[in-house]
């Protein structure tokens, strides 16, 4: 009974993610005015027939911005998660497989990265970037940076998992059969790391969505006029009460729903991994 | 009897009779009544400082929080009336500036004393000026008085008269004494002995500063009542503006000195009687292009940015009216130049804000060899006109302005990338590496006198932002501004100074080294319980007349 109920929640989460992804992919049809057009005569307007979620402070249609912002976050967070999982597999997985001094060196580097205050690191890297990049490039760079800096925790997990596989009976047996080096890693070790890799991938997605939102709130995320959840959440600054302009909470509600859905799907992946 | 003659009178002896007891009680009651009468009934004023005060020494003030405490506690010789912008006598009864603008003579009020009871005299003024001009103190207030090489001399003519002579003429010399709080030369309490309406009673770092009424304050009102009316002021240290706003709404603080237009409108919607819009302030928001010759920009971009026609065209293509109306919700005015219309004397009223006209802007650019191709503006060599505007991350008003400018310029085919950077990175690019194309920032003007802008307009200055520290002026118009700014600074005649500074404003308008966007209005919020408040545009907007305020 309990099993079925949990399964129903997961199905619901999957369905929600699919609906959100579908709707955001149809943004061009649902919000043809686009995310950048400024209706300056209707700046800060409440929801209306023309603007379903009202307009932001410079008159841009909030509904369009939510759709496009969600699309950006939903497309690029998994991409960043892919980059970070790949790097974690490369550094952590290989270090664990090779063991000894390799593992110790790799983990020392990982510890060093883990000890860095990532937010300040991101701000520093962002400040060093060239200025004249288009908003689309800026969004790609932001998520790439998140991916390149977010591999460390996953690398530790993978190093430990690969280390335990290295000493497992089936790897010893393969080694005794004459399989060594890269072939042993690709054929016997990596496939057994897959569940951990999946889990790390799914964990990273909501983490990167939230990281981008954090950067966006600081004004350091995706460049204007491109929307993202971070820049949309910035609108909540200065709201004195929840009831004041409740439609401004839509991006926040969407963020919570999507991150929660990812977590529910993730728990399913955990079971697969187990 | 013998006892009386020997003078050994015991306390029991004095109160030995019922009659004597009654007289003693009557005197005690009178004493208590006198104490009650001497306490003011003005109540306690509460508001927030947005940062920790860095110092209580009035000569070392360089931050707003310390400036607020200096204003409330410091006694000055002359005070600029924040409403009329006229100079009024305070500790000095009268003053006279010499014709050459080097010497000022003050006639002081007599019979005054500091908060700890130490008498006030010309010695204290001499001591304050010596401290102020001491190079070892590095007083930011003193910097304004450094007119040239040489020593500042003070001559105490009498306990109530003093002459101060500076090594070189100082334009607007008397007005600068508005910022100089007089220290006691003799008090053991040093800078904590004050001549202003209030004195520091308690300081809790990170939490609050409590001020109480200075019992020795010299002013009385027309009815002979001692001023200030308030008993005390509590200054809570609170950097978060949302919390400040919430506390105001809850009635925990009585005023917000400078409030954002967004909060202003929210408050106005529910309690219009609590908010005050005093009109355009001295603050401006502006953008400028990088004109530094050694900057790492491509040569063709340097050519654009060094062209006055290009800068004027960009200025014309920006809808400043919309910036005022949309970003600041109508609580700002399109700016015309380096002086706000709020500065009644120095503003050049002949200058009018440039009308928004993308067509005229495009014509100007076409006359310079630019052409519009498929919606993209290209220069004579075929380079697409693309540049970035940096502003400081977290400032939502500037981010919005930059986004609107991006949209406006798109209409003439100019592609703008908006970049928000953390402030230290922005400053590094602006002052060290010069690796930027355009910057959008604001300028907070505290003083009215053009001398306070010398560090911006002199081409050799570090704060000559579009091209700092030029060895010699790189353009004829910069050379002319240098000449005019020096001429006005050397003159003691207000009319001549005004002529020179009017011309500076005209040159800045014609050459547009800064593209002035808006002058923000001075917005404040004052609780209904505060009586006598009359917010103005000059700092401190809401409590400039603190002596007259009461809280019921």
Report the share of chain B in percent with pLDDT over 70. 93
- Residues in Cβ contact with B54 at an 8 Å cutoff, skipping those fewer than 6 apart: B60, B62, B63, B65, B66
Q: Does B388 touch chain A (CB under 8 A)?
A: yes
Choose the closest CB to B394 out of A44, A219, A225: A219
Higher per-residue confidence, B349 vs A114: B349
A131 to B404: CB separation less than 8 angstroms, yes or no: no
Per-residue pLDDT at B11 exceeds 50 = no
Q: Does A223 touch chain B (CB under 8 A)?
A: yes
Q: Does A58 touch chain B (CB under 8 A)?
A: yes
Q: What is the pLDDT of residues B238-261, one digit of tens each?
A: 998 889 998 999 999 999 999 999
- Residues in Cβ contact with B175 at an 8 Å cutoff, skipping those fewer than 6 apart: B78, B80, B87, B447, B448, B449
pTM of the full predicted structure?
0.83
Q: CB under 8 Å, gap of 24 or more: what pairs does A64-67 form?
A: A64/A27, A64/A31, A64/A33, A64/A34, A64/A35, A65/A35, A65/A227, A65/A232, A66/A227, A66/A232, A66/A250, A66/A251, A66/A254, A67/A23, A67/A24, A67/A27, A67/A30, A67/A31, A67/A35
- Cβ neighbour number for residue B456 with a 10 Å cutoff: 19
Q: Which residues of A touch B328 (CB under 8 A)?
A: none
Chosen for mutation from B263, B269, B326, B428 (greatest number of chain A CBs closer than 10 Å) is B326
Is the CB of residue B346 less than 8 Å from the CB of residue B449? yes
Q: Does A134 touch chain B (CB under 8 A)?
A: yes
Q: How distant, in Å, are the alpha carbons of B109, B194, B249 from that of B112?
A: 7, 11, 41
Point out which residues pair with B153 in neighbouring strands.
B165
DSSP B332: E
A6-10, A120-124, A161-165, A213-217 — most confident range? A161-165
Q: Which two tokens stand for residue B32?
A: 């208590």
Q: What is the pLDDT of residues B366-421, one digit of tens each?
A: 999 999 999 999 999 999 999 999 999 889 899 999 999 999 999 999 999 999 99
A240 to B404: CB separation less than 8 angstroms, yes or no: no
Q: Does A133 touch chain B (CB under 8 A)?
A: yes
Higher per-residue confidence, B177 vs B6: B177
A219 to B399: CB separation less than 8 angstroms, yes or no: yes
Q: Does A126 touch chain B (CB under 8 A)?
A: yes
Q: Would you place residue B36 in the very low, low, confident or very high pLDDT band (cuts 50, 70, 90)?
A: very low
Q: Does B347 touch chain A (CB under 8 A)?
A: no
Per-residue pLDDT at B33 exceeds 60 = no
A57 to B327: CB separation less than 8 angstroms, yes or no: yes
Any idea of the CA torsion for A90, A93, A98, A101, to the nearest 10 degrees?
A: 80
Question: How far A65 CA sits from the closest chain B CA (Å)?
Answer: 14
pLDDT of residue B28: 52
Per-residue pLDDT at B131 exceeds 70 = yes
Q: Would you place residue A74 in the very low, low, confident or very high pLDDT band (cuts 50, 70, 90)?
A: confident
Q: Which residues of B touch A234 (CB under 8 A)?
A: 396
Q: What is the pLDDT of residues B81-129, one digit of tens each?
A: 999 999 999 999 999 999 888 999 999 999 999 999 999 999 999 999 9
Instruction: Give the per-residue SS3 of A30-50.
Output: HCCCCCCCCCHHHCCCCCCCC
Q: What is the pLDDT of residues B268-298, one digit of tens each?
A: 998 999 999 999 999 999 999 999 999 999 9
B420 to A57: CB separation less than 8 angstroms, yes or no: no
Q: How distant, in Å, are the alpha carbons of B4, B8, B128, B512 from that of B17?
A: 16, 18, 57, 90
d(CA B243, CA B262): 15
B266 to A244: CB separation less than 8 angstroms, yes or no: yes
A225 to B407: CB separation less than 8 angstroms, yes or no: yes
Chosen for mutation from A238, A245, A248 (greatest number of chain B CBs closer than 10 Å) is A238
B418 to A223: CB separation less than 8 angstroms, yes or no: yes
B326 to A59: CB separation less than 8 angstroms, yes or no: yes
Rg (CA), chain B: 28
Q: Which residues of A touch B400 (CB under 8 A)?
A: 57-58
Chosen for mutation from A131, A134, A235 (greatest number of chain B CBs closer than 10 Å) is A131
Is the CB of residue B332 less than 8 Å from the CB of residue B283? no
pLDDT of residue B6: 35
Question: How far B259 CA sits from the closest chain A CA (Å)?
Answer: 12
pLDDT of residue B35: 44
A36 to B386: CB separation less than 8 angstroms, yes or no: no
d(CA B268, CA B331): 12
Identify the weakest region by mean pLDDT among A19-28, A71-80, B60-69, B515-524. Answer: A71-80
Q: What is the pLDDT of residues B181-205, one digit of tens each?
A: 999 999 999 899 999 999 999 999 9
pLDDT of residue B458: 93
Report the share of chain B in percent with pLDDT over 90. 76
- Residue in chain A closest to B404 (alpha carbons) equals A58
Q: What is the pLDDT of residues A173-219, one digit of tens each?
A: 999 998 888 898 888 888 999 989 988 888 888 888 888 878 877 76
pLDDT of residue B300: 97
Choose the closest CB to B388 out of A57, A127, A132: A132
Q: What is the pLDDT of residues A221-253, one digit of tens each?
A: 788 899 988 788 888 876 766 677 899 999 999
Pair type for strands B255-256 and B514-526: antiparallel
Q: What is the mean pLDDT of residues B27-54?
A: 70
- Residue in chain A closest to B260 (alpha carbons) equals A238
**Mapping DSSP to helix (H, G, I), strand (E, B) and coil, where does residue B526 land?**
strand
pLDDT of residue B139: 87
d(CA B424, CA A274): 48
Q: Does B243 touch chain A (CB under 8 A)?
A: no
- Cβ neighbour number for residue B215 with a 10 Å cutoff: 12
Q: Does A38 touch chain B (CB under 8 A)?
A: yes
Instruction: Give the per-residue SS3 of B129-160.
Output: HHHHCCHHHCCHHHHCCCCCCCCCEEEEEECC
Q: What is the pLDDT of residues B446-491, one digit of tens each?
A: 778 898 888 899 999 988 999 999 999 999 999 999 999 999 888 8
Question: How far A158 CA sits from the closest chain B CA (Å)?
Answer: 35
pLDDT of residue B447: 79
Q: What is the mean pLDDT of residues B296-303?
A: 97
Q: What is the count of residue pairs from A and B with beta carbons less than 8 Å apart? A: 84
pLDDT of residue A63: 95
Mean pLDDT of chain B: 90
B266 to A240: CB separation less than 8 angstroms, yes or no: yes
Task: List the 324-343 stretch of B: residues with Cβ below 8 A of A.
Answer: 325-327, 329
d(CA B75, CA B36): 26
Per-residue pLDDT at A3 exceeds 80 = no
Q: What is the mean pLDDT of residues B516-534?
A: 96
- Residues in Cβ contact with B359 at an 8 Å cutoff, skipping those fewer than 6 apart: none
pLDDT of residue A223: 86
Q: Which residues of B touch A44 (CB under 8 A)?
A: 329
pLDDT of residue B291: 97
Q: Is A32 exposed, middle or buried (0-12, 13-18, 19+ CB in 10 A)?
A: exposed
Q: What is the pLDDT of residues B199-231, one digit of tens each?
A: 999 999 999 999 999 999 999 999 999 999 999
Q: Which residues of B touch A223 (CB under 8 A)?
A: 417-420
């Amino acid at each position: 009974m309990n099993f079925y109920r949990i399964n129903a929640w997961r199905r619901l989460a999957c369905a929600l993610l699919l609906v959100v992804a579908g709707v955001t992919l149809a943004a061009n049809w649902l919000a043809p005015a686009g995310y950048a057009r400024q209706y300056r005569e209707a700046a800060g307007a409440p929801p209306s027939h023309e603007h379903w979620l009202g307009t932001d402070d410079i008159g841009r249609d909030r509904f369009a911005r939510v759709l496009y912002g969600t699309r950006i976050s939903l497309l690029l967070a998994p991409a960043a998660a892919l980059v970070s999982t790949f790097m974690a597999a490369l550094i952590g997985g290989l270090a664990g497989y090779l063991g000894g001094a390799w593992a110790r060196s790799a983990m020392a580097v990982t510890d060093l990265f883990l000890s860095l205050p990532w937010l300040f690191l991101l701000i520093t890297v962002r400040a060093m970037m060239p200025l004249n990049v288009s908003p689309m490039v800026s969004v790609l760079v932001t998520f790439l940076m998140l991916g390149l800096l977010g591999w460390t925790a996953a690398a530790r997990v993978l190093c430990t998992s690969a280390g335990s596989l290295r000493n497992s009976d089936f790897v010893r047996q393969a080694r005794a059969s004459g399989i060594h080096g890269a072939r042993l890693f690709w054929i016997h070790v990596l496939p057994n790391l897959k569940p951990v890799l999946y889990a790390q991938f799914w964990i990273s997605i909501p983490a990167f969505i939230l990281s981008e939102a954090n950067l966006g709130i600081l004004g350091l995320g995706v460049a204007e006029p491109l929307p993202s959840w971070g820049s949309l959440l910035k609108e909540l600054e200065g709201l004195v009460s929840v009831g004041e302009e409740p439609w401004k909470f839509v991006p926040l509600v969407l963020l919570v729903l999507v991150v929660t859905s990812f977590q529910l799907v993730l728990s399913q992946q955990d079971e697969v991994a187990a | 009897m013998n006892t009386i003659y020997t003078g050994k009178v015991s306390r029991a002896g004095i109160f030995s009779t019922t009659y004597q007891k009654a007289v003693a009680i009557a005197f005690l009651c009178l004493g208590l009544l006198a104490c009650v009468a001497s306490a003011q009934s003005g109540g306690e004023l509460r508001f927030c400082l947005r940062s920790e005060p860095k110092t209580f020494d009035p000569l070392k003030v360089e931050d707003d929080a310390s400036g607020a405490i200096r204003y409330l506690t410091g006694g000055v010789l002359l005070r600029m009336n924040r409403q009329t912008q006229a100079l009024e006598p305070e500790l000095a009864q009268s003053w006279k500036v010499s014709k050459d603008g080097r010497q000022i003579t003050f006639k002081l009020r007599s019979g005054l004393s500091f908060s700890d009871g130490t008498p006030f005299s010309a010695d204290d003024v001499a001591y304050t000026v010596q401290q102020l001009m001491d190079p070892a103190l590095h007083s930011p207030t003193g910097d304004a008085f450094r007119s040239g090489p040489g020593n500042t001399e003070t001559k105490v003519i009498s306990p109530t008269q003093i002459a101060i002579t500076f090594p070189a003429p100082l334009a607007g010399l008397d007005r600068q004494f508005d910022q100089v709080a007089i220290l006691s030369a003799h008090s053991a309490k040093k800078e904590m002995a004050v001549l202003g309406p209030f004195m520091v009673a308690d300081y809790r770092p990170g939490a609050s500063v409590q001020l109480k009424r200075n019992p020795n304050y010299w002013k009385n009102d027309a009815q002979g009542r001692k001023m200030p009316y308030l008993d005390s002021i509590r200054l809570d240290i609170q950097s978060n503006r949302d919390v400040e706003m919430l506390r105001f709404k809850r009635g925990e603080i009585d005023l917000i000195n400078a409030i954002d237009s967004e909060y202003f409108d929210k408050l106005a919607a529910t309690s219009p009687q609590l908010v005050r819009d005093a009109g355009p302030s001295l603050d401006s928001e502006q953008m400028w292009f990088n004109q530094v010759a050694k900057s790492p920009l491509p040569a063709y971009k340097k050519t654009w940015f060094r062209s006055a026609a290009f800068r004027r065209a960009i200025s014309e293509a920006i809808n400043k009216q919309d910036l005022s109306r949309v970003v600041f919700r109508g609580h700002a005015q399109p700016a015309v130049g380096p002086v706000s219309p709020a500065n009644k004397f120095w503003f050049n009223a002949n200058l009018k804000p440039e009308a928004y006209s993308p067509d005229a802007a495009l014509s100007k650019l076409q006359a310079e060899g630019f052409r519009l191709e498929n919606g993209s503006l290209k220069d004579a060599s075929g380079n697409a006109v693309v540049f970035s505007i940096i502003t400081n991350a977290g400032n939502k008003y500037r981010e919005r302005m930059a986004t609107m400018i991006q949209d406006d310029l798109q209409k003439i085919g100019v592609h703008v990338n908006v970049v928000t950077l953390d402030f230290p990175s922005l400053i590094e690019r602006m002052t060290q590496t010069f690796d930027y194309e355009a910057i959008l920032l604001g300028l907070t003007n505290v003083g009215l006198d053009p001398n306070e802008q010398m560090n911006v307009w002199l081409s050799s200055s570090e704060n000559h932002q579009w091209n700092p520290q030029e060895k010699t002026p790189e353009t004829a118009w910069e050379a002319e501004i240098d000449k005019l700014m020096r001429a006005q600074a050397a003159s003691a005649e207000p009319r001549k100074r005004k002529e020179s500074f009017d011309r500076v404003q005209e040159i800045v308008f014609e050459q547009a080294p800064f593209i002035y966007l808006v002058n923000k209005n001075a917005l404040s919020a004052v609780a209904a319980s505060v009586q006598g408040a009359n917010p103005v545009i000059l700092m401190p907007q809401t409590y400039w007349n603190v002596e007259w305020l009461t809280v019921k």
